[in-house]
């Protein structure tokens, strides 16, 4: 039976939605309309993303567009669905999760011909909501908007927010909070947990249908491979290895790296209790629900491989009829993770220090130099972002230019000892200092969405209805490698009374 929707008449500016995922069998999703809200108000429209998607920003900001972004009134061509998936949450398998508060409106092809999902997050209850209300609070919506734009500015693959809409209705968590809906744009929402959902049910046909769909949508070059499913594991593993390396290089901590939060497109997805590190600490945890540090900053590479192993387990029956051969092929495919992660991470660290990889350079010695710096940063709680950015601005042969970096270390002598070795290594490159500085500035952001600044935005919006603090923060994190002289205070680490020690999930 077709679902009943309050539909709006089609008009030229309406997004030209397609529904390739909804073309999969019906047990891949549930058809469900968003639950209308009382008083939708557009809080912010991402003009740049709207242009990238080829959408009419004026229409989106108008009454009909806001009604769609709130889920109150949908164009005829929309076929809203909630996707089914399972997942390992903190290592424990949950057989049925699914979109409990997110509804996929459909897909659009952007100006570069890339298919992109458009999803409403916080759009009401679905068959996967369990005991949840299907709604989102304004604070987490703001966090996801900010973090997505920051990652985009850093050049890291990410989902992004097209819009934020206030619902005019409260959401009850620990207390009543303003409700909001986020319009999320993703390359797709297929997760490791999507495969687990079908594999754990013994539904080999569904696993193969999903794998074929994933290949066609994201990895079409694999279709003619001798073993496309082993090649798929390897391709996904390589993308994830590089993605997680790039997280580490900017101090990002996802916070909830469950298998249902790993997108197989290679994008960062599900910005819950995520955060960027201030002082460098490999054991840093911000997430209030990560009580044992499973997803700490330094644990992320190993967790990435653990998650991918669950994907490989889900695809074993497609790899080979012989179970032992299938496991061998899976292990071989997973090797692609380390092969992508290690050069991306260690090469990225060398680049952050301005070290050129040449035939004459000794990578093991360079990696030791980098590791030594990180160890001293951790010991003296030096700010991660500012240490590397200030090194970018320094001239190793002019001691005064190193003073701002020295000041970040509790005992500057520890930095001085390391600097002597760094200076010697740079001298061997025989490169003009200005060229080295330019390269380093392109690798080391001056700005990140520091936790206290994000919290400042959330507090102002939730407690006072004031969105003014959002704009300067978006300005700097959207162009984090540039200098913003009027907003230089956004480079400042938090004072003791400003330190955010925990971040929270929105569910």
Which residues lie closer than 8 Å to 62 by C-beta, 6 or more apart?
none
Which segments of 98-207 are extended strands (E)? 102-109, 115-121, 136-137, 160-172, 176-186
Angstrom distance (rounded) from CA 66 to CA 70: 6
The tally of CA atoms less than 13 A away on the side-chain side of residue 231 is 14
Which sequence spans correspond to the domains of the chain? 7-190, 193-271+293-351, 355-441
Residue in 435, 419, 344 with CA at minimum distance from that of residue 382: 419
Strands 41-45, 160-172: pairing is: antiparallel
What's the CA gap between 94 and 327, in Å, rounded?
A: 23
Asked whether the beta carbons of 185 and 43 are under 8 A apart, the reply is: no
Give the active site residue among 58, 99, 226, 260.
260
Q: Confirm if 504 and 273 have CB atoms less than 8 A apart.
A: yes
Q: Who contacts 241 (Cβ-Cβ below 8 Å, separation ≥6)?
A: 304, 336, 337, 338, 339, 340, 341, 342, 344
Query: Is the CB of residue 259 less than 8 Å from the CB of residue 242?
Result: no
Rg (CA), the chain: 24
Say if CB 461 and CB 467 are below 8 A apart.
yes
Which is nearest to 487 in space by CA: 505, 472, 506? 472
Q: Are 247 and 301 in contact (CB under 8 A)?
A: no
Coil, strand or helix at 84: coil
Q: How far apart are CA 207 and CA 199, in angstroms?
A: 6
0.85 surpassed by pTM: yes
Please, which residues bridge with residue 287 across strands?
503
Catalytic residue flag (residue 260): yes
Tokens 């798929």 appear where?
A: 232
| Coil, helix or strand at residue 44 | strand
* pLDDT tens-place values along the chain, 507 residues long: 333 445 444 434 788 999 999 999 999 999 999 999 999 999 999 999 999 999 999 999 999 999 999 999 999 889 999 999 999 999 999 999 999 999 999 999 999 999 999 999 999 999 999 989 999 999 999 999 999 999 999 999 999 999 999 999 999 988 899 999 999 999 999 999 999 999 999 999 999 999 999 999 999 999 999 999 999 999 999 999 999 999 999 999 999 999 999 999 999 999 999 999 999 999 999 999 999 999 999 999 999 999 999 999 999 999 999 999 999 999 999 999 999 999 999 999 999 999 998 777 789 999 999 999 999 999 999 999 999 999 999 998 899 999 999 999 989 999 999 999 999 999 999 899 999 999 999 999 999 999 999 999 999 999 999 999 999 999 999 999 999 999 999 999 999 999 999 998 876
Q: Hey, what are 332's tokens? A: 């071989």
């Amino acid at each position: 039976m077709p679902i009943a929707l309050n539909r709006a008449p089609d008009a030229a500016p309406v997004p030209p939605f397609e529904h390739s995922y909804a073309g999969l069998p019906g047990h891949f999703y549930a058809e469900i309309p968003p639950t209308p809200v009382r008083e939708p108000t557009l809080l912010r429209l991402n003009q740049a993303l709207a242009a990238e998607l080829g959408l009419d920003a004026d229409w989106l900001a108008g009454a009909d567009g806001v009604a769609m972004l709130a889920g109150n009134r949908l164009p005829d061509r929309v076929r809203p669905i909630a996707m089914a998936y399972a997942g390992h949450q903190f290592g424990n398998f949950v057989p049925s999760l699914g979109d409990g508060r997110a509804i996929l409106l459909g897909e659009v092809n952007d100006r570069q011909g890339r298919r992109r999902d458009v999803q409403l997050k916080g759009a009401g209850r679905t068959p996967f909501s369990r005991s949840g209300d299907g709604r989102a609070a304004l604070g987490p919506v703001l966090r996801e908007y900010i973090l997505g734009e920051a990652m985009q500015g850093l050049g890291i693959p990410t989902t992004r927010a097209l819009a934020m809409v206030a619902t005019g209705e409260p959401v009850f968590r620990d207390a009543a909070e303003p409700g909001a809906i986020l319009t999320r744009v993703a390359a797709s929402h297929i997760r490791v947990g999507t495969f687990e959902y079908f594999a754990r049910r013994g539904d080999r046909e569904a696993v193969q249908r999903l794998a074929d769909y994933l290949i066609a949508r994201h990895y079409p070059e694999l279709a003619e491979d001798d073993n496309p499913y082993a090649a798929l594991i390897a391709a996904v593993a390589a993308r994830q290895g590089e993605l997680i390396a790039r997280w580490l290089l900017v101090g990002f901590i996802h916070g909830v790296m469950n298998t249902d939060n790993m997108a197989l497109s290679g994008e960062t997805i599900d910005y819950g209790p995520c955060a960027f590190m201030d002082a460098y600490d490999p054991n840093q945890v911000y997430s209030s629900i990560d009580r044992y540090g499973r997803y700490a900053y330094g644990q992320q590479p190993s967790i990435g491989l653990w998650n991918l192993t669950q994907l490989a387990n889900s695809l074993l029956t497609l790899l080979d009829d012989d179970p032992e051969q299938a496991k061998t092929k899976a292990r071989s495919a997973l090797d692609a993770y380390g092969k992508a992660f290690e050069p991306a991470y260690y090469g990225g660290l060398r680049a952050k220090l301005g070290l050129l990889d040449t035939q004459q350079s000794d990578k093991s010695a360079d990696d030791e130099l980098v590791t030594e710096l990180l160890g001293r940063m951790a010991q003296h709680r030096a700010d991660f972002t500012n240490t590397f950015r200030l090194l970018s601005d320094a001239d190793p042969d002019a001691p005064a230019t190193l003073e701002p970096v020295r000041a970040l270390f509790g005992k500057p002598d520890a930095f001085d000892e390391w600097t002597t070795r760094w200076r010697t290594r740079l001298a061997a490159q025989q490169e003009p200092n200005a060229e080295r500085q330019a390269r380093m500035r392109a690798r080391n952001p001056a700005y990140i969405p520091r936790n206290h600044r994000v919290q400042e935005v959330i507090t102002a919006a939730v407690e006072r209805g004031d969105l003014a603090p959002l704009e300067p923060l978006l300005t700097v994190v959207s162009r984090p490698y540039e200098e913003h002289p009027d907003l230089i205070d956004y480079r400042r680490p938090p004072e003791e009374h400003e330190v955010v020690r925990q971040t929270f999930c929105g569910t």
